[in-house]
C-alpha cells in the first residue's frame, strides 16, 4: 500500500521526507514523489520507480533551479508519498503529490476514492484540467474549488464530498508552515517533536525523529504547524488526543506490531476486502458495471470459462469455478496454468480465460495466458499488481486491491481474488438471467458486508492458536470438505505445508473411504470444514468415519450447522464468546470450532481465515521462518 510522510519545522524538509519514504519502502511501491515549499515557491518532483530515481531527479532539479526555480534546500515544509498503483498505471504523471490548476494546493493520498469519476466529470465541466488517471487528483481540484481563504475549512468541505477510504495530507504555499491531514479508513499518525511536527501513514517513518504520536481516528482532521497540532472530529469539534508512545523497534513497527508480515496481512483482510469490493457494489447490493472487464457486450460472447493460475491463486480459481457454475450456470473449469499450456486445450473464441495472479508475473500463468489468447479466447486478468506483465498482456483486467503482499505465503490476495470472482459470478448470473434480481441484490449486500464477517473470523485467533499447537507436533495432517469446503481445504493444506513443513493433504470428504482412510491412525489430525448446509450432514458422516479410526478431528463450522453456541439464525453473536469458540458439545475425538454465520456461497473467504491462522501458528510453534519459507520465492518468474 502507499505511504505518506509530511514535515513542518526548522529542518530542511527534503532529507526528512526522503528518509521517511525510505523507511516505508518495505510496504512495496512503484513510484515516489515530494512537494516542498521553499518560502516562495513549491518544488514538486515525482518519478516512477525506486526512490533513487526520485533522489536523482531532485538533485538535478535543485542544481537546474540555480536561483531561478524553487530551491528545495531552503524548504522547511513538505509532503511525500510512495505510490502503489490502483487507479492508473505506475508513471511519473500518476505519482503523487497531485496539484490543482493553480499549483496552490498539493495533496498526497492513500486509499481509494469511490466516487472520483463523478467528481472528475463535475470538476472538468467547470474547467478544471486533469493531468493524471488517478482518483487522487480530484482532491486538490475540489479544494481549489471550495477555497475561500481558509485552508482547513476547504479541506474539510472537500473531504466531506469524498466516498471511500482515504488518508490525505495537504500542503499549500498560501499557508506556509502548515499541513492539514484527514483520516478515513486509512491509517495516519502524527509525530510530535519539539518545535517541529511530522506526519506518516506508518510509524517506521517517524521513529528516527520521535516516539510520541497521535494516532488519528476515523474522520479526524489534524492541522500541523511547527509549534502545534490541533485535531478535530468530523463535525469540526476539537478532540483532546492522548499521546501514544511507541515502544516498538523499527522492524516491529514495519510489521505494525505483528510478529510477521504474514500475520499482519491476515489481519489486513477486512480492509483489503473493502478496498476490493466497496467501489464495485452499491449499498443496495448491485454490481457497478463501469469497469471494461464487466462490460455486458463483451461478456455476452462467452459460452464457457477457464480459470488459469498457480498455487493459491489456483485455489481461488476453484472457488470461482463453483460460483460461476452455481450462479451464472456457465460451464467453468479451474486449471493449473503449468498443465494447461502443454495439453493442447480445447479453447476457442467462445471461451473466457480468467487468469488469476497476485504478482502478475508468474511465468506459468503468463504462458497460459498467451496460450489461451493464441487460441482465440478472451482474456480477463484478476491481478493485484497494477501494470504487471499479466495485467498488460490481458485483454481486460479486474484488479484486486489487496495492497502489497510481502509474506511468501499468500493470504489477503486469496480472499480478494475470491471476492472478485464472486462478484464476476454474480454479475454474469444477472447478465445471463440465471440469478433473479432480488436474490442477486441480497447476495451483493452480503458480499459488501464480507469484511465484517472476516473481522469476526479473526476474533477467534486465540482458539485457532490452541488447535495449531496440537497440530504442530504431528508430521502429517488432513483437510476434508465437500463442494466449496473442499476448495478451501486445498488452500488450507498448501498453507500448512508451505510454512510449517508439515505434510498435509486435502481430500473431498466423500473420497476418504476410497483409499486415504488407510492413513488415519490414532491421533492423526484431520481438519474438517462444514459450511454448506446442503452438504454438512454428509461431511459429518465422514467425520464419524475418521473418529472411528482414532483420528482427531477439528471441525470448523458455523453454529447453525453444529447446533452449538455462536450466532443464532438471526445472526446474534455467541453468548459470552467470540467466533471460533468451542461450539457444540464435543464428542470424543472431535473438537468443534465455530465459524461466523454468512451466506454459504460466501463462506470460503471467512473459512479460510482460521486455516491461514492455523498454518501460521503451527509454523511459529515449530520455529519456522514464517515469512520466508525454505526453497520458495514470492514471485515465480521462471518455469
Ligand atoms: O503471484 P501469483 O498469484 O501468480 O503466484 C502464484 C503462486 O506462486 C502463489 O500463490 C504461491 O502458491 C504462494 N506461495 C502460496 O502461498
What is the distance between the alpha carbons of residues 639 and 637, in angstroms, rounded to a whole number? Answer: 7
pLDDT for the residue 71: 80
365 lines ligand 1 (CB under 6 A): yes
Q: Is 634 a catalytic residue?
A: yes
Instruction: For residue 207, give the nearest of 246, 243, 234 by alpha carbon.
Output: 246
57 lines ligand 1 (CB under 6 A): no
Q: What is the pLDDT of residues 473-495, one digit of tens each?
A: 999 999 999 999 999 999 999 99
Domains of the chain are: 2-253 (3.60.20.10), 261-448 (3.40.50.10490), 457-621 (3.40.50.10490)
Residue from 2, 45, 416, 624 carrying the catalytic annotation:
2
What is the distance between the alpha carbons of residues 90 and 122, in angstroms, rounded to a whole number? Answer: 25
156 lines ligand 1 (CB under 6 A): no
- The protein residue with its alpha carbon nearest to ligand 1, atom 12, reads 311
Spacing, Cα 637 to ligand 1 middle (Å): 11
Measured from the Cα of 359, ligand 1's closest atom is 1
Burial class (CB in 10 A: 0-12, 13-18, 19+), 434: middle
Instruction: Give the residue, out of 313, 390, 492, with the most ligand 1 atoms within 8 A of its beta carbon, to mutate for a pocket test.
Output: 313
Q: What ranges make up the beta strands (E) of 444-494?
A: 476-481
24 lines ligand 1 (CB under 6 A): no
Q: Is 2 a catalytic residue?
A: yes
Measured from the Cα of 635, ligand 1's closest atom is 1
Measured from the Cα of 417, ligand 1's closest atom is 3
Residue from 497, 538, 628, 634 carrying the catalytic annotation:
634
311 lines ligand 1 (CB under 6 A): yes
What is the distance between the alpha carbons of residues 395 and 384, in angstroms, rounded to a whole number? Answer: 16
593 lines ligand 1 (CB under 6 A): no
Instruction: For residue 431, give the nearest of 598, 275, 293, 277 by alpha carbon.
Output: 293
- The protein residue with its alpha carbon nearest to ligand 1, atom 7, reads 311
pLDDT for the residue 317: 98
Spacing, Cα 470 to ligand 1 middle (Å): 27
Q: What is the pLDDT of residues 170-229, one digit of tens each?
A: 999 999 999 999 998 788 999 999 999 999 998 889 999 999 999 898 899 999 999 999
0.85 exceeded by the pTM?
no
pLDDT for the residue 574: 32
Q: What is the pLDDT of residues 502-554, one digit of tens each?
A: 999 999 999 988 988 899 999 999 999 999 999 998 999 999 999 989 999 99
565 pLDDT above the threshold of 60: no
Q: What is the pLDDT of residues 253-311, one digit of tens each?
A: 788 889 999 999 999 999 999 999 999 999 999 999 889 999 999 999 999 999 999 99
Amino acid at each position: 500500500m502507499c505511504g505518506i510522510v509530511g514535515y513542518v519545522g526548522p529542518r530542511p524538509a527534503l532529507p526528512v521526507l526522503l528518509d521517511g519514504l525510505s523507511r516505508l519502502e518495505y510496504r512495496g511501491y512503484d513510484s515516489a514523489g515530494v512537494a516542498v515549499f521553499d518560502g516562495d515557491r513549491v518544488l514538486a518532483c515525482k518519478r516512477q520507480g525506486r526512490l533513487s530515481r526520485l533522489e536523482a531527479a531532485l538533485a538535478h532539479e535543485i542544481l537546474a533551479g540555480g536561483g531561478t526555480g524553487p530551491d528545495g534546500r531552503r524548504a522547511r515544509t513538505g509532503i511525500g508519498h510512495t505510490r502503489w498503483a490502483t487507479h492508473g498505471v505506475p508513471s511519473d504523471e500518476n505519482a503523487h503529490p497531485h496539484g490543482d490548476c493553480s499549483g496552490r494546493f498539493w495533496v498526497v493520498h492513500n486509499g481509494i476514492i469511490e466516487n472520483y469519476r463523478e467528481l472528475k466529470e463535475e470538476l472538468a465541466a467547470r474547467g478544471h484540467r486533469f493531468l493524471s488517471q488517478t482518483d487522487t487528483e480530484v482532491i486538490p481540484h475540489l479544494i481549489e474549488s471550495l477555497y475561500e481563504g481558509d485552508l482547513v475549512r476547504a479541506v474539510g468541505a472537500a473531504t466531506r464530498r469524498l466516498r471511500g477510504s482515504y488518508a490525505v495530507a495537504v500542503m499549500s504555499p498560501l499557508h506556509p508552515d502548515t499541513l492539514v491531514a484527514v483520516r478515513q479508513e486509512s491509517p495516519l499518525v502524527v509525530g510530535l517533536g519539539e518545535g517541529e511536527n511530522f506526519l506518516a501513514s506508518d510509524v517506521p517513518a517517524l521513529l528516527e525523529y520521535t516516539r510520541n504520536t497521535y494516532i488519528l481516528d476515523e474522520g479526524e482532521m489534524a492541522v500541523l504547524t511547527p509549534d502545534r497540532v490541533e485535531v478535530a472530529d468530523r463535525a469540526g469539534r476539537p478532540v483532546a488526543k492522548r499521546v501514544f508512545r511507541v515502544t516498538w523497534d523499527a522492524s516491529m513497527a514495519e510489521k505494525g506490531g505483528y510478529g510477521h508480515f504474514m500475520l499482519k496481512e491476515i489481519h489486513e483482510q477486512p480492509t483489503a476486502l473493502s478496498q476490493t469490493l466497496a467501489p464495485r457494489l452499491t449499498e443496495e447490493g448491485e454490481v457497478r458495471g463501469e469497469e471494461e472487464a464487466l462490460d455486458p457486450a463483451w461478456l455476452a460472447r462467452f459460452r464457457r470459462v477457464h480459470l488459469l493460475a498457480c498455487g493459491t491463486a489456483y485455489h481461488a480459481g476453484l472457488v470461482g469455478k463453483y460460483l460461476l457454475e452455481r450462479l451464472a450456470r456457465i460451464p467453468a473449469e479451474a486449471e493449473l496454468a503449468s498443465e494447461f499450456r502443454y495439453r493442447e486445450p480445447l479453447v476457442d473464441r467462445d471461451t473466457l480465460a480468467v487468469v488469476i495472479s497476485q504478482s502478475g508475473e508468474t511465468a506459468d500463468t503468463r504462458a497460459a495466458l498467451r496460450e489461451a489468447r493464441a487460441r482465440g479466447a478472451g482474456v480477463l486478468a484478476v491481478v493485484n499488481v497494477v501494470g504487471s506483465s499479466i495485467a498488460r498482456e490481458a485483454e481486460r483486467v479486474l484488479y484486486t486491491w489487496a495492497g502489497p503482499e510481502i509474506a511468501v505465503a499468500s493470504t489477503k490476495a486469496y480472499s480478494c481474488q475470491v471476492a472478485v470472482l464472486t462478484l464476476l459470478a454474480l454479475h454474469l448470473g444477472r447478465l445471463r438471467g440465471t440469478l433473479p434480481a432480488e436474490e442477486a441484490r441480497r447476495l451483493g449486500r452480503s458480499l459488501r458486508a464480507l469484511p465484517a464477517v472476516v473481522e469476526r473470523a479473526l476474533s477467534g485467533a486465540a482458539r485457532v492458536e490452541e488447535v495449531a499447537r496440537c497440530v504442530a507436533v504431528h508430521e502429517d495432517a488432513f483437510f476434508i470438505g465437500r463442494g466449496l469446503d473442499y476448495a478451501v481445504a486445498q488452500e488450507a493444506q498448501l498453507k500448512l505445508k508451505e510454512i510449517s513443513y508439515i505434510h498435509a493433504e486435502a481430500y473431498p470428504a466423500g473420497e476418504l473411504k476410497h483409499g486415504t482412510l488407510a492413513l488415519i491412525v490414532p491421533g492423526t489430525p484431520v481438519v474438517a470444514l462444514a459450511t454448506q448446509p446442503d452438504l454438512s450432514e454428509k461431511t459429518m458422516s465422514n467425520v464419524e468415519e475418521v473418529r472411528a479410526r482414532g483420528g482427531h478431528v477439528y471441525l470448523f463450522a458455523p453454529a447453525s450447522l453444529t447446533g452449538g453456541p455462536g450466532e443464532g439464525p438471526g445472526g446474534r453473536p455467541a453468548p459470552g464468546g467470540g467466533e471460533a469458540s468451542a461450539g457444540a458439545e464435543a464428542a470424543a475425538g472431535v473438537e468443534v470450532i465455530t465459524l461466523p454465520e454468512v451466506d454459504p456461497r460466501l463462506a470460503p473467504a471467512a473459512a479460510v481465515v482460521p486455516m491461514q491462522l492455523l498454518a501460521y501458528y503451527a509454523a511459529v510453534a515449530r520455529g519456522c521462518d514464517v515469512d520466508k519459507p525454505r526453497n520458495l520465492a514470492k514471485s515465480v518468474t521462471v518455469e
